[in-house]
Each structure stands twice: as structure tokens, then as C-alpha cells.
Structure 1
Amino acid sequence: MSGFKSLFKQTFIYGLATVLPRMLSFILVPLYTDPKVLSVAEYGRVSFIFAYFVLFNVVLAYGMETAFFRFFNKEESKEKVTNTSAISLIISSVAILGIAFLFRNQISALINIEIKYLNLVFIILLLDALVIIPFAWLRATAQPMRYAIIKILNVAINLGLNIFLLLYLKGLADGDSIFNSIYKPDFEISYIFISNVIASGITLLLLLPFYKKIKFSFDIVLWKKMMRYAMPVLIAGIAYSVNETFDRILLEKLLPANIAEEQIGMYSACYKLALFMTLFATAFRLGIEPYFFSHSNAKNPQKNYAKILEYFVAFGSVIFIAVVVFADLLKPYIIRSEAYYEAMWIVPFILLANFCLGIYHNLSVWYKITDRTKFGAYISVFGALLTLVLNYILIPKIGFKGSAIATLSAYAVMMLLSFYFGRKHYPIPYNLKKIALYFGVSTVFSMLYFYNFRGNYFIGIGAIIVFLGIVFQLEKNELKQLLKK
């Protein structure tokens, strides 16, 4: 049980590094959805460009972060792993983005992003790629506080600049020649990306001491082994980016041009209400991933892995029901304009989709610690293909509702496939009855409430209380042990 206390302590700190910045980032959603700042179509444009960010970031990382964790715990020389992975990312990032800059006109035409935005995107991608290994090193060497402070500072700077440039700069420019030289009319989208450039640049500066510590020595033999491990992770990452963001890209391509960006804007804004589940799943993953690797050689680690998934599903189910019940109370604080509310229909589907994704990440421990990362690639590719097919079929018929259904379908299938193959190659004694109970009851309660009793808080709160009672009865012994000093 002491191992679990350590796990939850690290999960809390990593969660703080993830949850607080992203909670602060909620400020951006009401800012961007304020009709005085951006129109629905302009917010859709920003969301469309950020959708490509996910894909580009995955390509530039090419699975090296996961490979770093695996070999950092596996190899005797941790310094050699750190040096090799860091140098690999430096060279590849500079080379790839240098070539992309030379062909930026062709790339702009291909993906329909204006050159003025694309140049800023390239700078952000380079800066973010250069901090991948330094952040991974902080996690691997158990420095969660430093990790958290830098992550929070990054988002705080980004938020502060967004607020200043989008809300205050214009007014200051009217009365001061200095600010007047900075301000440009109809430059709001560029200001968003400029804020990101500055925040990413400061983050890299704060992590430069990492680069001063490493020796610029490159082990080609180790690098080849890391790349063999990383390539399936890259494929899985690309597939993940398709599942995560290609709905916006396909909405832009498959809907009529006169409504596409507005539909993307509405969809993206309401998608943000699922952020509570994403935050929980991300924080949990950041805490458990190093734990999975470091305890893989312990006696009977499968028992602990099973209990971890059980805790995840229990907590995730509570979050699922709570957000669905209170979604209409939350939305005015997050989405400033009623012009976006048409897409509220997607909220339970996206929440459940991200819940399934979180379970999938917990289940994926089997192929990561057994070096069968190719299965992660297979599963993710299948999910991506399912996403593409369902989006192509459903978007022309039901618009963004089709994207929500496709997202849930893909993540649910990925979750089931990971469980199926995991039982064959690395059996873990999951308490399936309890997990299925939590997942099933929370799903039924949430869907029934939102689509049949939405707004009836007597029924909604009652469902939450009943579910909490079920969880408490089944987990009271474990909770007592965790709360013991």
C-alpha cells in the first residue's frame, strides 16, 4: 500500500502540473468565444490550425519520449540514454522544420493554413520539440515539483499574453505611441500564436540547464534499439492524432465551405466541456507511466496494475456523471456566446470517449513493458481507420454529431482490443465485474439523464449520490487503508 501512496503523491503533483494550467486555460475559451474578440468562424479557424499541431508534434517526437522512459529504466548507463535521445531530437527537429520552412508555400496550399500562421506554427513546433526530453528527464528522475512549476509558468505566460494582446492592447494603442506600434487591427489569430511562441521560448530557456548537463555523445547502437522501440509508438501516435483532431480537419473538408468553420467553432467549444475527463486521465497517465516501467520487475506487478485500473474507472465514472449533470451550469462560464450551444449534444459522447481513452492508456501497460509496442500501433491504426471511415460517412449526414459518434466508437474499440490482446500476451487479474459495474452504471445514468431528464437536478444529483454510494460500499476497505498514515 505504501507503493500506492507514493504513486498517488506523484500523480497529484503531476496532476497539479496538468490540471491547474489547463484550468487556467479555461480562461481562453470564454475569451475566444467572446463575440467581441473572435467570431464563431474565427474560433473555428484557430481550432482547425491547432488540430494540425497535434499531428506535427507527434511526428517531431516520433516516440522518443516513450523510448526514453523504457531505456532509462532498462539500461545501466542512464546518462547514455539521456544524451542519445536528446541529441536525436535536436538534429531531427532542426532538420525537419528547416525543410518544412523551405517548402512552406507548398505545405500552406496542401493543408489550407495561411503562410502568416504557418511560420509561427513552425517556430512553436521547434521550441516544443526541444523540451520533450528535458521534461521526460524531470519525470524519470522524480522531480515533479520542478516539472509542475515550469509547466504552470508556461501556460500562465501564454494566458497572460493572450489576455493582454486580445483584450487590452487595442485600448492602450489608442493613447500611447509605443503600444500603437505593436497593435495591428484584425490580427487576433496571429496574436494567439505569438503568445504561444513567447511562452514556449521562455520554457526552453528555463530548461537550458538540462542541455548544459548532458554530454554531446551519441551512441548509434543504443539509438537504433531506441528507434526500433519508438517506431511503433510513432505510428500509434499518428493514429492517435487522427482520432483526436482529424474530426476538425474533416469537418472543414466535408462540410460546405460557408458553414464549415462555424461548425468547427461550435464543436470545438463544446468539446472543451470534456476537458475535466481529459485532465483526470492525463494526470493519472503522467503519474502511472513511470510507475509501470519502474515496477515491471517487481514481484507480481500485475496485481498492482489491476488495482490501478480499478481506481481509475471508479474516479473516472464519478467525473463522468458529475460533468454530464452539471454541464448546463458550467457552459456559461466556459463558452461566452449562445451561438456555440447548438453543439452541446456532443458532450456525453466526448466525455465517454475520453473515459474509454483513459482506460485504454491504463490497459496499454502490457505492450509497453513487454516491448510489444507494435500492438499499440496496430490498435491505434485500426482506431484511426475507424475514425476516418465513420467521419466520412456521418459528417455529410449529421455534421459534428457524426464526429462525436466516430470519436466514441474509435476509443471504445481501441479499449476493447487492448484488453483482448493483453489477456493473451500479459494476463492481468482485473476485477472485471467491479470495473464493468462502475463503467456501465455511470454510462447508463449519464446518457439517460442528459437526453431524457436534462435540467432536472433532483434526478441528476440523486444519480450522483446513488453512484457514490455504490463506489463507497465496494471500495470502503481500500479507502480506509489509503487514508491510514
Structure 2
Amino acid sequence: MNPLRQLVSQTAIYGLSSIFGRFLNYLLVPLYTYTFNTGEYGVVSEFYAYAGFFAVLLIGGLETGYFRFRNKQNFSNETVYAGAQSFLVLVNLTFLGFIVFFNETLAEHLHYGEHPEYILWFASILVLDAITALPFARLRAENRAWRFAGIKLTEIFLTIGLNLFFLVACPKIAATWPDSAIRFIYDPAIGVGYIFLANLLASCFKFLLLIPQLRGIRLQLSPTILKPMLIYSLPMVIIGFAGMVNEMLDRAILKYMLPYDLDTNLQMLGIYGACYKLSILMSLFVQAFRYAGEPFFFSIAGREDAQKSYALIMNYFVIFGVFIFLVVTLFIDFFQYFIGSDFREGLDIVPVLLIANLLLGIYVNLSIWYKLTDRTGMGAWVSLAGAGLTAWLNVWWIPIWGYHGSAWATLACYLFMAVISWLLGRRYYPVPYRLGKIIGYITFGLILYVAHHFATEVYLINTWLSASASLAAYLVTATWFDIRPLLRHKHDI
């Protein structure tokens, strides 16, 4: 199969489990925002922000390390996999033991003393997700995308079903038959904790489905295997952790940085977290591309035309990313109904976050320079610089502009990282990216968005008519200049 078509095919399948599957999960946002108030939903946003940081630490960058070392001549695939998995199990069981021992103390410090079970449940989710990360990576490396997608979708559907059971069915049953057996299952005092419990049960089932990828693995902690793999992978932890700072720090510190009382800060956090969900289509596209792109980039690295291929992939990535930006922003009157009315005052941050996530995707494409040249340490410095900028801007801007400051800090960080990575890539692994087209498509998308806003606000043109015309103009332009040549097989990699 043509490599570009293979990448598109793999991205589409991973998209089934990430974009489509997570979109199904995203449909839970209306349930949450119509069931809980802004303060209660702020608790959910905060916990999932913490989860992002710990997920990076508990996986230890070993997904990328596994991709890099499984094809090295002096290591066998099975040996690399067994060594990495053994290390992950040891680290994660140690972490879980620490949480169990200090559970109540941690709950008090985080102001959740009445619900220490939240901490324990979430830690268990993190451990299960970390232990199953390498089995999923192995499925990706072996091009078993359909099994990958099947397990991911099963987890998502189960999560949705359990959420509906705990948040919809149980309250109705308890109200109608208060003395029924439901009283042993459902306790209204747990509140948003049922979101975490549903996630935990689904993660347990996912672990069971991945047992075939774990069966027969001999636990081994050989320094011969682990030392070079960890030297390569641990900088990826710094990169990933810095990435989480860029992505999640705002939701982790808004509760403490906003200049209001604790309850009001949680309400603002809830609004920001809900509106952030409206940019989820872009972040899921980036995630699906990363799933398919990382092993693909390594697989064609030895080819003479690899750099040309990377440049072409970047071009089509940006085209589709700008399309997603326009779909969400032009039709925001539709997407706004996915969150409760109390949360919609923050809709003006959605375009900012969409562009920010598009820049993150561009950075993901650009990051091949340090992965393919084994300069992960330098990549870590780029990520740390971005994280430092994010932290500084959030501390500076949140007290002044509230959660709007967080949104603009996210965009500024990803723009900075993309520019720095492009400059370093030109020196260490030159790729002939079509910079003019990349900037051109992003600029064109922004012009269409501003023109649509101007047409509907000033000239009172029908919103749906203006949005459809703007989107059509973009599609015609992209088709004429880039999609049509691709379909005619003028671009081939």
C-alpha cells in the first residue's frame, strides 16, 4: 500500500476510536453540565487536569522508547516489550501503594476531605491506564489498528453506559423505589464521584480485554535492556510532563489563581472546562494523528524521500485542521447546546483554544527532528521552555483576565514551541515544509471566521447561510490547490 494512503487509513481507524469514540464520550458533557452545577463540574475538570500530569509520569515515555528500540538489531521485540512492561508494573504498583497509604492526608490537602474515595478511585484509573499503555503501543506497532479501535470503543461505550446508569437511572429508581436494592449501589452524596467510578470500572474491563497482549510476558528488569531505553525515554517524560503543563496547568491552578472565593473559582473553572470541551474535535484529531503518525514516521525514516514525505503530510494535516476550526467556530450556535446554558458565557475562548490545539498538532509534526536524530534531550528543553512560558503567562494573566488569560497563554505557548521546533529542525533534520501554504491556510481560515462574524453581527446575514458559504469557500480553495492534485496522484510518498 502507498505509505501516505496507509497513514491516512491508519489515522482513520485510530480516529474511529479516538475522534469518533471520544466524540461519543464527549456527548456526556451535556449530561454533566445539565446534571451538575458549575462548581461541581469544576471538581471534574480539576481531577482530569491532575490525571494528565500523572499519566505522563507513570508511563515514563516508554511508548516512544518501545517504538524506537523494538527495531534495533541488538534487541529483540519481545525482550524490549517485556523489559518495558516489567518496569511499568513496578513503578505503578509502588505509586498505588503510596496513594493508599496517604489517601486521607492527600484528600484533606486538596479540600476533598469528605470524599477521600475520589483520590483512590482516580489513582486506580491512572495505574490501569499506564499498565495498558504498552499493550496498546504494541498493537499500534504491529498495525493491529482494528483491535486497538475495538478495545478503545468498548471502553468508551461502557463508560457512557455506566455514566447513564449512575447519573440517570439510579436517581430515578431511588426516587421511585427508595427501599429497593438500589440503595446498596447508589448514594447521592457521592455526587460527581460516580463519573470517576464509571471510568474506573471501564478501565478494569479494558485491562481484561488486553490480557492476551500481557499473557506470556516474563517479568524482567535487565539493565542491558532498561538502561539504554530509559536514557532515551526519560527525556520524553520531561517532554510529556511539560506538554501536560501546557495543556492542563490552567485547569489545575485556576481554582487557586482566580481572584474570587473558592466556590466562585470552582464555578469559573467549571465554565472554562466545559468550553474547553468544545475544542475537543481538534485535540482528538491531533491525538488520532499522533497514534498513527509516530510509528509511521519511524518506519519510513530510512527512505531517501522521507523529508519530502514529512513535508507533504504536514501540508494536509494543516488543511484538515483548519477545516475542523471552521466547522466548530462557524457553527458555534449549534455546538453551544452541548453544554448547559450556565456554561456558555465562556464561548468566546473556543476559537482561541482551537487554534492553540492546531498549533500543537503542527508541533507534533515538527517534533520528528529530535525523535529521529535521538536528540530527545534537546526536545525536552523545548518543551520545558514552553511549560515555563505557560506557567508564567497563566500566573500573570489569570488574575487580570480570568480564564481568558489561560486560553491565550495556551495559544502563545504552542506558537512559541512550533516556531522553536521548526528553527531547530532546520538545523538538525531539514524538512522542506511548505511554510507559505501552512501560514496561508491558517490565515485564510481566520479571515473566513472574522468575515463570518462581521457579516452576521453587522449586516445581520443569516448565520447558517454565512457559515455554509464560508466553509464552502474554504473547501473549494483547498480542493483546487491541494486535494485535486492528490486525487490525481500527483503527490505520492
Task: Give TM-score, length-normalised by structure 1.
Answer: 0.95
Give the distance between the partners of 1:226 and 1:264, measured in 2 at CA. 39
Deviations 1:374-431 (A, max 9, x none): 1221111111111111111111111111111111111111111111110010000111
Whether 1:316 aligns to 2:324 is no
Matched residues in 1 for 2:420 and 2:491: separation?
35
| Deviation of 1:446 (Å) | 2.4
Q: 2:276 aligned to 271, 275, 280, which one?
A: 271
Specify the SS of the correspondent of 1:218.
coil
State the Cα RMSD in Å: 1.8
Aligned to 1:32: 32
Partner of 2:137: 136
Establish whether residue 478 from structure 1 lines up as the match of residue 486 from structure 2: yes
Is there any run of 5+ residues in structure 2 with no aligned partner, and where? Answer: none
- Which residue of structure 2 aligns with residue 205 of structure 1? 208
2:232 alignment partner in structure 1: 229
**Which residue of structure 1 aligns with residue 181 of structure 2?**
178
Distance 1:172 1:97 in 2: 34
What does 1:383-462 correspond to in 2, within 5 Å?
383-450=386-453, 453=456, 456-462=463-469
TM-score between the two structures when normalised by the length of structure 2: 0.94
Q: Is 1:464–2:471 an aligned residue pair?
A: yes
Q: Partner amino acid for 1:78?
A: N
Q: How many residues align?
A: 480
Residue matched to 1:59 = 57
Amino acid at match of 1:244: E
**Equivalent residue, structure 1, for 2:2:** 2
Structure 2: distance between partners of 1:33 and 1:226: 43
Query: What residue is the counterpart of 1:42 in the other structure?
Result: 40
User: Is the CA contact (8 Å cut-off) linking 1:68 and 1:81 kept in structure 2?
Assistant: yes
Query: Does structure 2 retain, via aligned residues, the 8 Å contact 1:67–1:226?
Result: yes
CA contact (8 A) 2:136 2:148 kept: yes
**Deviation sequence 1:190-236 (CA, Å, 0-9, x none):** 21111111100010011112221323333312201111111111011
C-alpha separation in 2, matches of 1:443 and 1:266: 25
Distance 2:474 2:487 in 1: 16
CA contact (8 A) 2:485 2:491 kept: no
Q: CA deviation at 1:41?
A: 0.8
Q: Which amino acid aligns with 1:52?
A: Y
Aligned to 1:152: 153
Amino acid at match of 2:94: A
Change beyond 3 A, Cα 1:321–1:165: same
Amino acid at match of 2:12: F
- The code of the aligned residue for 2:85 comes to A
Letter of the aligned partner of 2:70 in structure 1? F
Cα 1:325/1:140, change in 2 over 3 Å: same
Partner of 1:88: 87
**CA distance, structure 2, for counterparts of residue 376 and residue 73 of structure 1:** 22
Compare 147-156 and 443-452 and name the one that shifted more.
443-452
d(CA) in 1 for partners of 2:381, 2:6? 33
CA distance, structure 2, for counterparts of residue 125 and residue 117 of structure 1: 12
Go from structure 1 to structure 2 and tell me whether the alpha carbon gap of 1:180 and 1:104 turns closer, same or farther (over 3 Å shift).
closer
Shift, 1:444, TM fit: 3.0
Identity %: 38
Residues 268-314 of structure 1, C-alpha deviation per residue, up to 9 Å, x if partnerless? 11111111111211111111111001111122211111110011011
Q: Aligned equivalents of 1:417 and 1:452: distance in 2?
A: 36
Letter aligned with residue 55 of structure 1:
F
* 1:131 CA drift (Å): 0.4
Deviation track 1:88-113 (CA, whole Å, cap 9, x = no partner) reads 10011101221232223343344444
**Aligned equivalents of 1:483, 1:377: Cα separation in 2:** 33
Conserved 8 A contact 2:39-2:263: no
Q: Distance in 2 between matches of 1:461 and 1:168?
A: 39
Unmatched segments (≥5 aa) in structure 1? none
Counterparts of 1:185 and 1:467, CA distance in 2? 49
Match for 2:410: what amino acid? T
